[in-house]
Amino acid sequence: MIWQDKVCVITGASSGIGRALAVDLAARKAKVCAAARRADRLVELIEAIGGEGAGHSYVVTDVAKRPDAVALARHVGDTYGRCDVLVNNAGLSREGLFDGAAVADIEFVMKINFFGAVYCTAELLPLLKASAPASVVNVGSVAGRLASGAVSGYCASKFALVGWSESVRLDLAPSGIAVSLVEPGPIPTEGFPQTGLAADPLLRWMLVTDAAAARAIRRTIARRAPERTVPRPWYLARVARVLAPPLYRAAQAQVTEQMALRSPAGPLT
């Protein structure tokens, strides 16, 4: 795929996977429009990848707010007049065992991780259609296939993203828009420090870098592929769920234990 001058909108570009993707695509001479809430981080990113002179820009955006998605789309239309790629990457998690008080956290996480992708895709859709062939990538998670304890809102948001992505892929294919889902495994980033895994010499191998996830996203866009797990062996979680449910339950228990280790409050009871 020729990336030069492709207009790529990345949400959650102020750190982690989104930032790594912005750096990766800018190195291929794509024009990056970076969106997130922290303006200082976005300013630093745009300078680091070549500045506005290279065609990059940013919009301070809270994807949980639909008017912010409207403003993002207006900026992309006014600045570039087109949108070749939208990466719905913005996301976070809230940890804790489910109880009545968790409802507000679940609403909060759903609003960002799921509705944020819905809002941004909806508002950028006219530009994406006019720019077809175009791509939308939703950054899910292995937690959208393999639920663990103490992160019910996060798992719900990523499971929802799977169903929505697969359905919308069918809806938008006739318009020349490929909708893809990239599902990373654990990656140490600001919002997901993975301290439990990083501290465990037997499990540390599971960690991959944000740059590796960025590469997987870029390749998924280039191939217009429906789905990609990164690293690939996490695909086995889906297979195990169908073919070996006891193995799947064992993996759930293991992941839950790791979640407990990384909890700031210590092991969850």
Ligand X SMILES: NC(=O)c1ccc[n+]([C@@H]2O[C@H](COP(=O)([O-])OP(=O)(O)OC[C@H]3O[C@@H](n4cnc5c(N)ncnc54)[C@H](OP(=O)(O)O)[C@@H]3O)[C@@H](O)[C@H]2O)c1
Helical packing angle, 39-48 and 16-27, nearest 10°? 30
CA 45 to CA 124: how far, in whole Å? 22
Which residue is associated with the tokens 């002179």? 53
| Residue closest to 44 by CA, chosen among 21, 19, 69, 26 | 19
Is 154 an active-site residue? yes
Name which of 26 and 90 has its Cβ closer to ligand X: 90
The partner residues of 60 in beta bridges, in order of sequence, read 36
Cα first-last separation, the chain: 49
Closest distance to ligand X from the beta carbon of 111 (Å): 8
Query: Which of 7, 9, 17, 214 is in the footprint of ligand X by CB under 6 A?
Result: 17
Q: Would you count residue 11 as binding ligand X (CB under 6 A)?
A: yes
Q: Would you count residue 192 as binding ligand X (CB under 6 A)?
A: yes
Scanning 46-54, 61-69, 125-133, 231-239 for contacts with ligand X by CB under 6 A, the matching segment is 61-69
Output Rg (C-alpha) for the chain, integer angstroms.
18
Q: Would you count residue 41 as binding ligand X (CB under 6 A)?
A: yes
Amino acid at 70: V
Name which of 83 and 90 has its Cβ closer to ligand X: 90
Closest distance to ligand X from the beta carbon of 184 (Å): 4
Which residues bind to ligand X, rule: CB under 6 A?
11-18, 36-38, 41, 61-64, 89-92, 112-113, 116, 139, 141, 184, 186-187, 189-192, 194, 210
